[in-house]
Structure 1
């Protein structure tokens, strides 16, 4: 495993940096928040024109088949600008689950639309607020024409704007996934504003009738595909947190070089230098952890799950440290809304919880390693 980006991956990273810096600076997030909006449709159009929604989707379904390292470098750059889009939730997580679990007909039905950005799909799995897939009570009851689903899902990021819900159910047969259009009778969605100015959806399913074609794969046979999807979500959300950490660190170091106190640049204070050096070292470790996890996904390595949970757990700790240090080293101005550094702390808080927090993935890592 070569721990560097290929030439093509580096070119994608550079083009992502350029597109996002021009179309999604922090000022765009601030303007979106202040206007009362909850997403950036123009940015998603730009990303779709660039082909990004098809990065992990196979060529057979109109995707780019560029792999998870490709998705990771895009997400790292998105973390640096705090760009809001359904890229992770739809083009990476949901697309991966459909590709793993769906029939040929289902892949042909959904994946080309996701790859073009015209269709957005989200995973509706968690019911606890802590991404605990061992505690799913949403049920699917067989009927003459298909199935009836009942249950509730909490905190579905991008769920309020999604066209398609990938609903996870549990029963005696095991875990299953159903692809349900959001406007299906019996599906209701309540949105709530979360700390980073996004909205999350609490979704209720009350006797939702679906045909047999809505079931992805076979009834009770989704566990393996869901494990792969957790790996994808963990590694790719870690990549986004890595971008947040890097950008926060660079902004903080820049401030330390400019701010004067007692006639000296505060960057000359040894205590702050030590804290910055420690954070730099932790970010460098995170870079290696994220790239190893993304490469393991592309290679479908047997170490895939271990590396994915390691990357998520590591980046969850580092991004918290990076954003908290960023605010503290900026001093009083770091606590004000007028200064951008606080936006990174808020997004970091959401990313740390998404698809399993530090405790979820640290425990998963320990179990996979036989502890």
Structure 2
């Protein structure tokens, strides 16, 4: 476990207290059972913004606090525990990272302050198929006289319904499957030719499919360099993977604690079931997995803060290890609770559904095992 600074410890405790009180699983249920198109509470989001959470990785010059990715991860872990829905991850981490690393000074001035104060929700539009495949970009961006015309579609865009701008991965030349020819664009969500359709997902979040039909932008919408955006894209994705791993850690940790509490209170055959050796061994095994996952997640976030050379390696390691823990732990949550675990009234099913979506986001365990092996030269 990382040695936290006094400031980080204070932020962690504040986040734990606030999320438990104000953005609990019950709040998530209320949104799920309501008619919200964006699938989060604007009031809760505004409160997160007022606490400065949306500006954690943004430099002070652009309205943020520049407290780093590890600090952001501590907050995401707490929102993961309570299944709190908001654009915090999609915009304040993924969107902000893309602008910070690839944006021009003009783009930074125009967008980062808005992300920090919540007036802008900037999200990445990447996937075009059922699986995470950053190289398989087929959406085209044809250029003529300094104007790019985008045609194609994106699927499963996180916070796609609430976004004010999209960071769009498009192909300015080459073929799908090639790294050369990928370009990133920052495009307003209300641009002519953009159509978004809400997706009904098992985890009840604001995902959307986005259609681009003759969407025209000038070269000042380019993020980074035309045709050379794949390296930037992977750097953004590594930060997304480490961030979402922190949220997954929180989701899995809460599932573990729910199980532990049940083992301590459920009585069968005249004694609490936690006293049964087989169940005790299972709990001990998951505790070990949890702490190993935590070490991997915090190491990845620290690597990003330190601009280390192995960020890609550590991000894949963290996403894979925490994915393995969360997969098994969310299953265990259902199994240990038996029949009640299968009911909607109990929260276990909500954690299982969210777990499956988080596992597949930005690459599942198999994807990152393969990527990690390639990075290590196997």
The aligned residue for residue 215 of structure 2 is 208
The aligned residue for residue 33 of structure 1 is 32
After superposing the two structures, state which structure 1 stretch, 34-43 or 335-344, moved more: 34-43
Partner secondary structure for residue 214 of structure 2:
strand
Q: TM-score by structure 1 length?
A: 0.98
After superposing the two structures, state which structure 1 stretch, 330-339 or 136-145, moved more: 136-145
Q: Does 1:131 align with 2:132?
A: yes
Partner secondary structure for residue 149 of structure 2:
strand
The aligned residue for residue 17 of structure 1 is 16
Distance (Å, rounded) in 1 between the aligned partners of 2:289 and 2:124: 31
Distance (Å, rounded) in 1 between the aligned partners of 2:22 and 2:246: 20
The aligned residue for residue 343 of structure 2 is 336
After superposing the two structures, state which structure 1 stretch, 232-241 or 5-14, moved more: 5-14
Partner secondary structure for residue 131 of structure 1:
coil
Distance (Å, rounded) in 2 between the aligned partners of 1:207 and 1:145: 15
The aligned residue for residue 107 of structure 1 is 108
Deviations 1:264-304, CA, capped at 9 Å, x for gaps = 11111111111110000000101100110000000110111
The answer (yes or no) to whether the contact 2:162–2:206 under 8 Å persists in 1 is no
Deviations 1:32-69, CA, capped at 9 Å, x for gaps = 11123221211100000001110011122111101000
2:201 maps to which of 186, 194, 199: 194
Partner secondary structure for residue 149 of structure 1:
strand
Partner secondary structure for residue 108 of structure 1:
helix
After superposing the two structures, state which structure 1 stretch, 209-218 or 39-48, moved more: 209-218
Q: Equivalent residues in 2 for 1:1-371 (5 A)?
A: 3-37=2-36, 38-170=39-171, 171-172=173-174, 174-371=181-378
Distance (Å, rounded) in 1 between the aligned partners of 2:69 and 2:33: 34
Partner secondary structure for residue 183 of structure 1:
coil
The answer (yes or no) to whether the contact 2:224–2:232 under 8 Å persists in 1 is no
Shift of 1:214: 1.1
Q: TM-score by structure 2 length?
A: 0.96
After superposing the two structures, state which structure 1 stretch, 273-282 or 347-356, moved more: 347-356
Count of matched residue positions in the alignment of Structure 1 and Structure 2: 370
Distance (Å, rounded) in 1 between the aligned partners of 2:8 and 2:360: 28
Distance (Å, rounded) in 2 between the aligned partners of 1:134 and 1:147: 20
Partner secondary structure for residue 128 of structure 1:
coil
Distance (Å, rounded) in 2 between the aligned partners of 1:356 and 1:59: 32
Distance (Å, rounded) in 1 between the aligned partners of 2:17 and 2:122: 27
The answer (yes or no) to whether the contact 2:184–2:222 under 8 Å persists in 1 is yes
Distance (Å, rounded) in 1 between the aligned partners of 2:254 and 2:157: 26
Partner secondary structure for residue 199 of structure 2:
strand
* Structure 2 gap segments, 5+ residues each: 175-179
Shift of 1:145: 4.6
Partner secondary structure for residue 207 of structure 2:
strand
Shift of 1:142: 0.9
Distance (Å, rounded) in 2 between the aligned partners of 1:78 and 1:215: 32
Partner secondary structure for residue 170 of structure 2:
strand
Distance (Å, rounded) in 1 between the aligned partners of 2:251 and 2:53: 20
Distance (Å, rounded) in 2 between the aligned partners of 1:234 and 1:264: 43
Distance (Å, rounded) in 1 between the aligned partners of 2:135 and 2:228: 15
Shift of 1:116: 0.9
Distance (Å, rounded) in 2 between the aligned partners of 1:85 and 1:354: 16
Distance (Å, rounded) in 1 between the aligned partners of 2:118 and 2:373: 37
